Amino acid sequence: MVTHLPLITRPMAELCADGRTVFLPGGAMAVGTDAMPTADDPFVRRADAAARFSGPVATPLFPQADSDLLRRMLDRQSAEQLDLMPVHWPDSAGPASLPGLTQWADDLRLSTQVLRTQLDGATGGAVPFGPHRVVDLDAEGRITAAGTGVTVRVVPSDHRASKPWAEAPAEVLDILSGKPYLSGRIVFSADGVEVGLPAELTNHRYRAALRTHGLRFGGSGDDALAATGAERVDEPTGYVDLAYRMDQAGAGAHAVVVVDGPDGESIHLAVNDEARNLSLLGPDGSALLPAAESGRIRLALYPGEPVSVEERLIQIAAASTGSSAAVSTGPSWADTTRNEVALHTWQAADGTGRVMEIIGPAAAVSTHDLGVLAEAAEYLDQPIIVLATDRPGRRPTPEQVSLLNRRLFVHLGESVLAGGHDPVPVVYTRASASPELTRVLDEYGAPLVYEAPGLSAPGADGMPLLNLGSAWTARRPGGSPGGGGQAAPPVVDALSVDLIEAATGLRRAPAFTPPTVPIVSFLSAPLTDPQAILSGLDRAGPALPDQHSQLREAVDRVPSLAGHHAVLSLAKPLLLGGLAGGPGGAAGTGGPAAQVGAMAPMLADLAGVSFDDRASHAILAAIGDLVEGTRSADEVTTAIWEFKDDLPRGGAVRPNWIRKINALVPLVSEGHRDPLDRIKEAIMTCPDPGT
């Protein structure tokens, strides 16, 4: 809707292009030179019939005629205002033709528009670069199929808005990021053609991802198109058709675009953001396409569910080298958190080398670093855990540190089963070495390879290099410098296999006694697999109940193991008679093995779906401790109440807990049912959250 104000003073008229439109900081307002316009005013009808504009600050101009005043006013507008200022064909010019509209666009050096009903139907000649310049728009202002638009826009051969948003502060660019911009935007300049968002908005949105991962298409345009896995490659008739096809692909769509230009092939990654704004990312950081009339355009859309730009860049690097890895998007070892900190895996595409584990946003790790780490893992036969953060120097989250603690314990258990021959992992990160992180590393004797802002690597003459960025070094468990015959960890200006090899020499034994083989054998079985639990108990043998204290120590270190603690506590009377022994326990359950097999998945259900489900772990630990008699009922009640925020009164949370525990009761021995009743009482009497 256009806002109408009466024209009052001559100074205000000087700001007007046509006696009707005045430009204000908030946008364009139509100004009447006489009384307030009525609904039958031709100007009002034309403005209301025109397509709406998708830009966040679009200010369409409706001049009554071309004039020197119009051009002087345009000269005073900012590049940002001009970029979002389509000019409508004036009524005084009579019926419009596409060649006439094109000539006016080139004269004004701005996009010009006309209602399709105003076109006289006689084009009178071809429009130069027509497939790249004539844009059809629907009633909502979005690009639509050629010949079907409510409004027709023609873009100039050389736009007067030079590099819009180039001087805008980052805060403004942040506000614009992800907001709808001018749909079907195409801008010709001496440097090339922009299709979609202005280069400055594109660069601001994706600069960090491109700096981290780069954009490297290996081989020819045919290779890049084939690597998408698309079932077909389309050939848009021009840049307008390219913009239309991408818009139709929807939010989050990605594609490879190859344009045959005068200097050879131009290959770009086309990206639709959440508002369907199109961005073109080039290997050299360019968002420009070649301005060539006869160049062939090819488009291949990536199939499947949308992924982030970061993950797409990793995939492109993988395809270009043929030796990069695939990043899994799902959790491994069922290790995931309620805050979506997941464990990913990464391995060379040919399946060689060790599988690396990535905790956190896998797409945040640069392809260069992944390549170095993969090479080191294979060459050194060294397990590596990557602690990923979205920005260098950011403190790792508590969930990340908890998952790292669990993974280091798992590796320790695997080493125990391997006779102590599997080395402790090297941990890589660009995060800050926080006290919480180093405390975990010191417990397990794990070295850290990390980016250290402010350090300087020595030059060839031994003098420190001038380093305005960061250097890489390694940290010895305990954080102590060289001593006892050990040299200080090296400081280098780039991550390298040599640095990782030096870090492996910093490993030391854990600061605690590792669990025994029977305990690890039992812990290695997932609770969700009853047969695996029975096999784990069988492998552990009759010595397992006597080593229960080791399992409780493991739970103190890794709370997500509380389910195994509860299984062993509740099953101990059955184990003492042997799993293959008599019926034992509750009558009619089919013997000890059947009872334990039925119990395990129920306890897995109690354990929750995420390893940081603290309330679930506290309740499972309480079950084991009450059965074992290592804590009193009052002590376990207090422990459960510490997580009252996770046990809200009302709703289904508490009743679900009671239902699950009641289902467990018939499977346990008579003497263990009273502890379960105490646990139910502690859950139901838990104070309200926030009290």
- pLDDT more than 70, % of the chain: 71
Dihedrals φ, ψ of 148, to 5°?
-115, 0
Q: How many residues does the chain have?
A: 691
Pick from 48, 59, 75: which is nearest to 25 by CA?
A: 59
Map out the domains of the chain as residue ranges.
1-54, 62-160, 171-320, 341-454+467-504, 562-575+591-685
Residue 481 backbone zone (phi > 0: left; psi -120 to 50: alpha; other: beta): beta
What whole-number distance in Å separates Cα of residue 385 and Cα of residue 425? Answer: 6
Which amino acid, one-letter code, is at 26? G
Say whether 426 sits in a helix, a strand or coil: strand
Q: Which of 49-58, 174-183, 426-435 has the lowest mean pLDDT?
A: 49-58
Strand order in the sheet with 27-32: 4-6, 27-32, 21-24
Considering only 60-64, 214-218, 458-462, 554-558, which range has the smallest mean pLDDT?
458-462
Amino acid type, 228? T
For residue 188, the cross-strand partners are 193
As a whole number of Å, the end-to-end CA separation of the chain is 52
CA–CA distance, 4 with 1 (Å, rounded to integer)? 10
Poorest-confidence range of 113-117, 409-413, 600-604, 605-609?
Answer: 605-609
User: Model confidence over 477-521: pLDDT tens digits?
Assistant: 886 544 444 567 788 888 899 999 999 888 888 888 888 888 887
Taking alpha carbons only, the member of 103, 58, 276, 81 closest to residue 180 is 276
Retrieve residue 69's tokens: 């005043």
CA distance 608 to 87: 60
Confidence of residue 94 (pLDDT cuts 50, 70, 90): confident
Beta partners for residue 161, in sequence order: none
pTM summary value: 0.49
Q: Summarize pLDDT for 29-53 with one digit per residue, the tens.
A: 444 444 444 555 554 555 555 544 4
Closest by alpha carbon to 192, among 104, 285, 113, 117? 285
pLDDT at position 322, please? 47
For β-strands 384-387 and 426-429, DSSP reports them as parallel
Which tokens sit at 234? 């389309």
Bridge partners, 333 (sequence order): none
Q: Give the pLDDT band (50/70/90) at residue 195.
A: very high
Q: What is the pLDDT of residue 427?
A: 95
Structure-token match 């060539």, residue found: 292
Give the pairing type, strands 21-24 and 151-154.
unpaired
Instruction: Write down the mean pLDDT value for the chain.
Output: 75
Most confident of 56-65, 143-152, 583-592, 607-616: 143-152
Res. 525: pLDDT tops 80: no
The predicted pLDDT at position 624 comes to 85
If you ran DSSP here, which 8-state letter would residue 303 be given? P
* Res. 62: pLDDT tops 90: no
Which comes out higher in pLDDT, residue 323 or 98?
98
pLDDT of residue 48: 53
Mean pLDDT on 589-615: 64
Helices (H) and strands (E) in the chain, counts: 24, 23
Q: What pLDDT sits at residue 14? A: 32
Q: Give the model's confidence band at 225: pLDDT under 50 very low, under 70 low, under 90 confident, else very high.
A: very high
The percent of the chain in helix, strand and coil, each rounded to the nearest 5, is: 40, 15, 45
In this predicted structure, the answer to whether residue 647 has a pLDDT above a threshold of 70 is yes
Tell me the average pLDDT across 158-176: 83
Reduced 3-state DSSP string for 161-187? CCCCCCCCCHHHHHHHCCCCCCCCCEE
User: Given pLDDT bands bounded at 50, 70 and 90, which one contains residue 60?
Assistant: low
Q: Please, which residues have CB within 8 angstroms of residue 617's CB and are 6 or more apart in sequence? A: 559, 560, 562, 563, 607, 608
